[in-house]
Structure 1
Amino acid sequence: MVEELPVASVRLVGVLPHLDRPFEYAVTPETAAAEAGMRVRVRFSGKDTEGIVLGRHAEPTTDRALAPLHRLVSEDVVVPPAMMRVCEEVAARSAGTVGDVLRLALPPRHARAEKADRAAVEKAAQEAEEQSVSPEEKGEGSEDQTVEQPSEEHAAVEETSDSDLPDAAPAPRPGDRYPGLAALLSRAGSAEGPVPRASLTLDAADTWTDVAADAIADLDPARGALVIAPDQRDVARLSRVLDERGIEHEIFAGTEGPEKRYRTFRRILRGATRVVLGNRSAAFAPVQDLALVICWDEADDLLEEPRAPYPHTRTVLQCRSAEERCALLFLSASDSVTLRALADRGYLARLEPVPAPVTAVRPRIVAMDEYLREREGPSGRSRLPQEAMRVIRRGLERGPVLVQVPRSGYVPAIACTFCRTRALCPHCSAPLSLSGRHGPLRCRVCGRREDGYRCPECDRTEVRAMVVGSARTAEELHRAFPDAPLKVAGGAHGPLEDDAVPETAIIVATPGAEPAPRERYAACLLLDADALLGRAAFDADVEAVRRWRGAISLVRSAQDGGEVLVVGTSTLPAIRDLVAHRSSFFLDRVLDDRHELDLPPFSRVAEIVGDREACRAFLDAVELPDGTDVFGPVDLEGPDSAGRARAVVRLEPARSRQLADALRAGIAARSARKAKGSLRVRLDPPDVF
């Protein structure tokens, strides 16, 4: 052991829940350089385990002999103390272990990337030192130097003062339309006063990339910024905007290879760049002097972590904002239920735009109401009425047209023509579908071909389409507009790049797969609106509005000729909300309904899923807070759910930490007992109801 601070407190990564606490190890002369935040390898339970040093101490807290630190992996401080506190808070909120959160926060070490980055740093330092050497030290004589005199013409140009030129008014920026944004940025990174946090719902005419770029450009150049977007395409779009403005930045994404990802991580760690972009995995990026965090479209399910302890990206950013006192800004094209609830509680401020004519900030939006349907006669009741064809025809005269459909494929869902019973596979009970105009019925799960289908309810053989997919829609539009280029995005067709959209073309896309051309779409058609609203989820209406507004944000404003047609039941509140401009009626109604039913965000919900006996034993053993509602356990249905059950517990939000602590203690006790059976506990799961 070394003489100075010979005891190291280490937090192990990925250990069992009941072992999620610091352990003490002896510092050897070989590991004497170990400091708080560095990676080490230790022997634990007979295995070589990774750990993070929490600190060094002079005396141990136990009288037992300490095992030595096995190896110092790197002298990089990969988890600063502030980031360690963030990980601990995320684990506490998610009823998980700090070791699991550290596994999410730290990319795997790559020795070659680390060596290459160190060499790059040394080379840059050497070049900087050489440039700082004076000419006399280099042996350069002043007698050989000649100074080129400017010509008379060049001198005349230099004599022209900038004051003689007319003042050019600066071009208006999208970010300037939101006065509260400037107030938030003025307090970003301030050590005094409350931490600024806000949500901003953009008008359709303002792109989120421009608003985010404006905020980054107005930030103090010495401070750091972190931008999180759900999809890698969103990250690439913002990166292009920052490149055009000359703002240096780094992309830290999970899609990169291990070597590039770790090299980017080290560049961020040593402060080589102050602006970092990324998706869910970048929420823990160790940005130096972090002053501003921006999250785009936090309601997107891509921001939900699928690995234990399943923290939402929003939770991680909230913890970072509280610990590092950085400003937190949520950008979205549609109001979010969660953000609205946080604003009503006073946690977030709602930033409103400067009033402007409706035609200047959004396209003309029309829903197929009864008047339009009756005017068209029988065509008005069809899936593609004549009004939709007219919108597409007018749009093609000015630019590309977007057609959004809820599902990919040809006919992904069919039902009996007589009794409307959904056609299911007799082997695995998955939905049967059509893959072509004259193709047979096939199961999308087991691949079974069903040639002799008969309805189990009425014994009839005729079937009809319940939902029409993007491929069938593209086929119908191609027959109607044979001369127009047609592209399909999403599903089996894959993504379509933004710059691959022809000037006058029809783009058929599923929600979330819409490409974003630079000049925007001239028109947009939202088909099968009722089908998107009919999903079997308690938040189907809110999610449908979010997806629709995402498509509307890609359309030109009304004064530039942009128009949107919604084909669905126009009297539904969700569709009426699209037509109204900045109305809060729909979201107010949603919040009132959820409050009356004790649904999130007016309750904290946890889901326990696992083997039937394990689920029941866990609920019997865990000490839940008083007043906790327990639903279940209920046996799960399906071919892969035999012997599995699911339970839901619910408690008021004010006592959510008590619920998290109780579940965390129950998981640790179960781990210590080595209880049999698999079990998963998730707080605030998105699909709980």
Structure 2
Amino acid sequence: MSAAGEQEGLFEAPAPAAPAPEAPAGDPGRTTAARDRALRTTAGFDVVEELPVASVRLVGVLPHLDRPFEYAVTPETAAAGPGMRVRVRFSGRDTEGIVLARLAEPTTDRALAPLRRLVSEDVVVPPAMMRVCEDVAARCAGTVGDVLRLALPPRHARAEKADRAAAQKEAETAGPAPDDDGSTGTPPAAVSAPRPGDRYAGLAALLGRAGDPTGPVPRATLTLDAADPWTAVAADALSDLAPEAGALVIAPDQRDVARLGRVLTERGIAHEVLAGTEGPEKRYRTFRRILRGSVRIVLGNRSAAFAPVQDLALVICVDSSDDLLEEPRAPYPHVRTVLQCRSREERCALLFLAASDSVPLRALTESGYLARLDPRPAPVTTVRPHIVAMDQYLRDREGPSGRSRLPQEAMRVIRRGLDHGPVLVQVPRSGYVPAIACTFCGTRAQCPRCAAPLSITGRGGHLHCRVCGRREDGYRCPECDRTQVRAMVIGSTRTAEELSRAFPEVTLLVSGGAHGALEDAEVPEDAIVVTTPGAEPSPPGRFAAALLLDADAMLGRAAFDADVEAIRRWRNAIALVRSAEEHGEVLVVGTATLPAVRDLVAHRSGAFLDRVLQDRRELDLPPFSRVAEIVGDKEACRAFLETTELPDGTEVFGPVDLEGPDAAGRARAVVRLDPHRSRELADALRAGVAARSARKSRGSLRVRLDPPDVF
């Protein structure tokens, strides 16, 4: 039984009943009478003799009703067992539920309603997956019913019927495959050639312990060198698994899933893709194939985090800091949280792959939860491109043009790159909220109370904090003690037009935004690709050069993690460029003295992230605090804070009125607590939401734990 279940009393065992007297021989009526006295039902249906009670968890019910309910098992639903879908009558309408257990006697004295229908005899939620859902709900202050709705795709009857027929046909024609020798299907040449995954010494040890039911569960984070494609390292790890072991790979974008799928197909590794973009019929057929174990390796994005892989031994999460891995539906779990729960409950190895280290993973590494897998030493020119920042020397050498957005050095990098292949130009995504910074040194203005970025209302308005509501009239820069501030405005909309005038004979392509994402195969050998972060294509031969424009603007977002996020996006772009040994080069156009830019130029330096962790520890920012956000109607938000019994020591910021055209009458509050008491905060918020649901309080309200954009 999970800790969440123990705390909330969801699975309390009934008091042991006295054994019923045995019926005399030839008097079966006495046993039936004893059963009838123990089991009270509503009228109009029969009940099975063996285990006549089903404990059912309902899907998507109100928060105060998020607990198991008991129903009587009819002869028509006699096959219902743990993990199967059923339909029951609840609150006057048919509701979907999952059977938790079959019982001999009820734990309540109320009359039981019948199971109306057994939807399918498929065990769609095994016991381990039910424990995962309970754990995720407890961590995110949500309901198990909502988590089940995220974990289960809608049933499709035609897809189920077709897959049953396919499974029966496979069973009838089953036989040893021609190349079924227990190998993974990796070509001999791929085994003998040096592999990127072999450069990371601890990876082999992690894979050797993956799926071991005894001993500690291996969990690690691996920050890749730019020259090592994540698809190759992930494929190396999957090919080294035991043939009977299952694996799950979660990537942020569907294009990333397709890239890994192509690599696995080239290596002859069988796999299945479970994607949220597929239609309901195709998705459910894929879900059933995974459920019955027809394939051992599953790829997918956020929606595949709950995929029911049999004999799951390894879970790989790619670029866990990508915002696409944040679930937008209640209870808003991050994929990282779901996979951690699966690793705990199913004892499967957990591996985080990324081109850049992240604050949450570094904190988990320092706490001992994750091991850090570093590559073997190698010459810098072989593992990354030549990276240069537009420093003071380069600017002074060019004169006035060195201060422009596209200096002459950037043009030279593009020309040199076009001699060898395509060139990538990354510009910040449009729509960033301008941050406020010192006019002299460029330090971002932060609230002295909660460390959130300060904002300005209108032209010439006052500085204020959008988190705690503090008005800052006497702001002074903590670095240079000056009082003048400015808004950091982004002007990147004309990049493509400017480059087309400078290089009229070169093919110019735009990826991202209204233009849509550019496919990898659509990049010609002599082209300039202007892209926004996350929309970069990955051509087979990689880019010959890359230009990272508007670095100061990327760092100037109104978010407390703007610098870490900027480095992540830059490193993802750098990972698409050839190594310096292959004439690959990268130019960063921005203030070269900024710590984030210096960290980008340095090779595998942890100084910047160490400083970020130290600053967050001193300011009580995540991950060194547990933070929750309450957003909703102003009166509902205020009443929730007044009626919810938060743990002692909880800091409350707000509620503060939201800004924007659609924010009229809405407010936002932030609560913060020590991370060692995170379960107390989650339980308190969960109880508050349930109490509000039971009272049928008016107004909309949303509660999120650890939202990424809280500060």
| Bucket of the pairwise TM-score, normalised by the shorter protein | 0.7 to 0.9
Aligned match of 2:82: 36
Offset at residue 638 of structure 1 (A): 2.0
Distance in 2 between the 1:653 and 1:310 partners? 18
Residue from 274, 281, 284 that aligns with 2:306 = 284
Aligned match of 1:623: 645
Offset at residue 482 of structure 1 (A): 1.1
Residue from 627, 650, 664 that aligns with 1:642 = 664
Q: Would the alpha carbon gap of residues 326 and 686 (structure 1) be closer, same or farther in structure 2, given more than 3 Å must change?
A: same
Distance in 2 between the 1:382 and 1:637 partners? 34
Structure 1 unaligned residues grouped into runs of 5+? 132-166, 416-428, 433-463
Q: For 1:476-555, what aligned pairs fall within 5 Å after superposition?
A: 476-555=498-577
2:195 matches 1:173 = yes
Which secondary structure state, in structure 2, belongs to the residue aligned with residue 319 of structure 1? helix
Do the aligned residues in 2 keep the contact of 1:37 with 1:81 (CA within 8 Å)? yes
Which secondary structure state, in structure 1, belongs to the residue aligned with residue 293 of structure 2? coil
Which secondary structure state, in structure 2, belongs to the residue aligned with residue 128 of structure 1? coil
- Letter matched to residue 467 of structure 1: I
Do the aligned residues in 2 keep the contact of 1:414 with 1:467 (CA within 8 Å)? no
Aligned match of 1:199: 221
Aligned match of 1:219: 241
Distance in 1 between the 2:307 and 2:168 partners? 23
2:494 matches 1:475 = no
- Letter matched to residue 617 of structure 1: A
Distance in 2 between the 1:625 and 1:501 partners? 55
Aligned match of 2:349: 327
Q: For 1:174-573, what aligned pairs fall within 5 Å after superposition?
A: 174-408=196-430, 466-470=489-493, 472-573=494-595
Offset at residue 414 of structure 1 (A): 14
Offset at residue 408 of structure 1 (A): 4.8
Q: Would the alpha carbon gap of residues 67 and 655 (structure 1) be closer, same or farther in structure 2, given more than 3 Å must change?
A: same
2:619 matches 1:597 = yes
Aligned match of 2:52: 6
Aligned match of 1:447: none
What's the TM-score once normalised by structure 1's chain length? 0.86
- Letter matched to residue 389 of structure 1: M
Distance in 1 between the 2:190 and 2:228 partners? 23
- Letter matched to residue 175 of structure 1: G
Aligned pairs, number: 609
Do the aligned residues in 2 keep the contact of 1:407 with 1:467 (CA within 8 Å)? no
Q: Would the alpha carbon gap of residues 414 and 479 (structure 1) be closer, same or farther in structure 2, given more than 3 Å must change?
A: farther
Do the aligned residues in 2 keep the contact of 1:8 with 1:57 (CA within 8 Å)? yes
What's the TM-score once normalised by structure 2's chain length? 0.84
Offset at residue 475 of structure 1 (A): 1.0
Which secondary structure state, in structure 2, belongs to the residue aligned with residue 681 of structure 1? strand
| Identity over aligned pairs, percent | 81
Distance in 2 between the 1:619 and 1:414 partners? 29
Do the aligned residues in 1 keep the contact of 2:433 with 2:557 (CA within 8 Å)? no
- Letter matched to residue 19 of structure 1: L
Q: Would the alpha carbon gap of residues 208 and 604 (structure 1) be closer, same or farther in structure 2, given more than 3 Å must change?
A: same
Aligned match of 1:452: none
CA displacement 1:81-138 (0-9 Å, x = unmatched)? 000000000000000000000000000000000000011111222223899xxxxxxx
Q: Would the alpha carbon gap of residues 589 and 392 (structure 1) be closer, same or farther in structure 2, given more than 3 Å must change?
A: same
Distance in 2 between the 1:637 and 1:575 partners? 32
Do the aligned residues in 2 keep the contact of 1:404 with 1:527 (CA within 8 Å)? yes
Do the aligned residues in 2 keep the contact of 1:39 with 1:78 (CA within 8 Å)? yes
Residue from 52, 68, 90 that aligns with 1:22 = 68
- Letter matched to residue 643 of structure 1: G
- Letter matched to residue 468 of structure 1: G
CA displacement 1:30-71 (0-9 Å, x = unmatched)? 000000000000000111000000010000011221100000
Which secondary structure state, in structure 1, belongs to the residue aligned with residue 88 of structure 2? strand
CA displacement 1:623-644 (0-9 Å, x = unmatched)? 1111111111112122211111
Do the aligned residues in 2 keep the contact of 1:413 with 1:431 (CA within 8 Å)? no
Which secondary structure state, in structure 2, belongs to the residue aligned with residue 256 of structure 1? coil
Aligned match of 1:106: 152
Residue from 683, 689, 699 that aligns with 1:667 = 689
Structure 2 unaligned residues grouped into runs of 5+? 1-46, 178-188, 437-455, 460-486
Offset at residue 677 of structure 1 (A): 1.1
Distance in 1 between the 2:631 and 2:655 partners? 9
CA displacement 1:434-482 (0-9 Å, x = unmatched)? xxxxxxxxxxxxxxxxxxxxxxxxxxxxxx9942335x11111111111
Q: Would the alpha carbon gap of residues 300 and 129 (structure 1) be closer, same or farther in structure 2, given more than 3 Å must change?
A: closer
Do the aligned residues in 2 keep the contact of 1:412 with 1:468 (CA within 8 Å)? no
Do the aligned residues in 2 keep the contact of 1:250 with 1:264 (CA within 8 Å)? yes
- Letter matched to residue 30 of structure 1: E
- Letter matched to residue 594 of structure 1: R
Which secondary structure state, in structure 2, belongs to the residue aligned with residue 284 of structure 1? coil
Which secondary structure state, in structure 2, belongs to the residue aligned with residue 637 of structure 1? coil
2:118 matches 1:95 = no
Q: Would the alpha carbon gap of residues 130 and 303 (structure 1) be closer, same or farther in structure 2, given more than 3 Å must change?
A: closer
CA displacement 1:360-405 (0-9 Å, x = unmatched)? 0000000000000000111111111111111000000000000001
Q: Would the alpha carbon gap of residues 546 and 376 (structure 1) be closer, same or farther in structure 2, given more than 3 Å must change?
A: same
Which secondary structure state, in structure 1, belongs to the residue aligned with residue 159 of structure 2? helix
Offset at residue 412 of structure 1 (A): 11
Do the aligned residues in 1 keep the contact of 2:428 with 2:492 (CA within 8 Å)? yes
Aligned match of 1:71: 117
Do the aligned residues in 2 keep the contact of 1:401 with 1:505 (CA within 8 Å)? yes
Offset at residue 252 of structure 1 (A): 0.2
- Letter matched to residue 48 of structure 1: D
- Letter matched to residue 502 of structure 1: P
CA displacement 1:496-536 (0-9 Å, x = unmatched)? 00000001110100011000001100000000100111111
Which secondary structure state, in structure 2, belongs to the residue aligned with residue 222 of structure 1? coil
Q: Would the alpha carbon gap of residues 480 and 191 (structure 1) be closer, same or farther in structure 2, given more than 3 Å must change?
A: same
Offset at residue 168 of structure 1 (A): 11
Distance in 1 between the 2:422 and 2:658 partners? 46
Distance in 1 between the 2:209 and 2:489 partners? 53
Aligned match of 1:679: 701
Which secondary structure state, in structure 1, belongs to the residue aligned with residue 173 of structure 2? helix
Distance in 2 between the 1:276 and 1:122 partners? 22
Do the aligned residues in 1 keep the contact of 2:488 with 2:553 (CA within 8 Å)? no
CA displacement 1:547-578 (0-9 Å, x = unmatched)? 00000000000011000000000000000001
Which secondary structure state, in structure 1, belongs to the residue aligned with residue 504 of structure 2? coil
Offset at residue 227 of structure 1 (A): 0.1
Offset at residue 169 of structure 1 (A): 9.0
CA displacement 1:268-308 (0-9 Å, x = unmatched)? 00000000000000000000000000000000000000000
Do the aligned residues in 2 keep the contact of 1:408 with 1:492 (CA within 8 Å)? no
Distance in 1 between the 2:381 and 2:604 partners? 13
Distance in 1 between the 2:325 and 2:491 partners? 28
Do the aligned residues in 1 keep the contact of 2:98 with 2:125 (CA within 8 Å)? yes
